[in-house]
Structure 1
Amino acid sequence: MLDETDRRLLDLLRENARLGISDLARRTGLARSTVQTRLDRLERGGAIQGYTVRLGQAATGALVRAQVMMKVAPKAQDAVVARCRGLSAVTVLHTISGGYDLVAEVAAPDTEALDAALDSIGRMEGVERTQSSVLLSTKINRG
Structure 2
Amino acid sequence: MKKSLRDKSIEAQMAIALQLMKRKNHQAIAKTGNKITMEQLVVLEILKTNGDMNMTELSKTVWKQNANITRIVDKLEKQELVERKPVQGDRRANLVSITSKGESLIKEVIPVVMEVYKDATSIITKEEEAITLNVLQKIISHLA
Interval containing the TM-score (normalised by the shorter chain): 0.3 to 0.5
Higher Cα Rg, which structure: 1
As a proportion of its length, which structure holds more strand?
1
As a proportion of its length, which structure holds more helix?
2
TM score, norm. by length of structure 2 = 0.32
TM score, norm. by length of structure 1 = 0.32
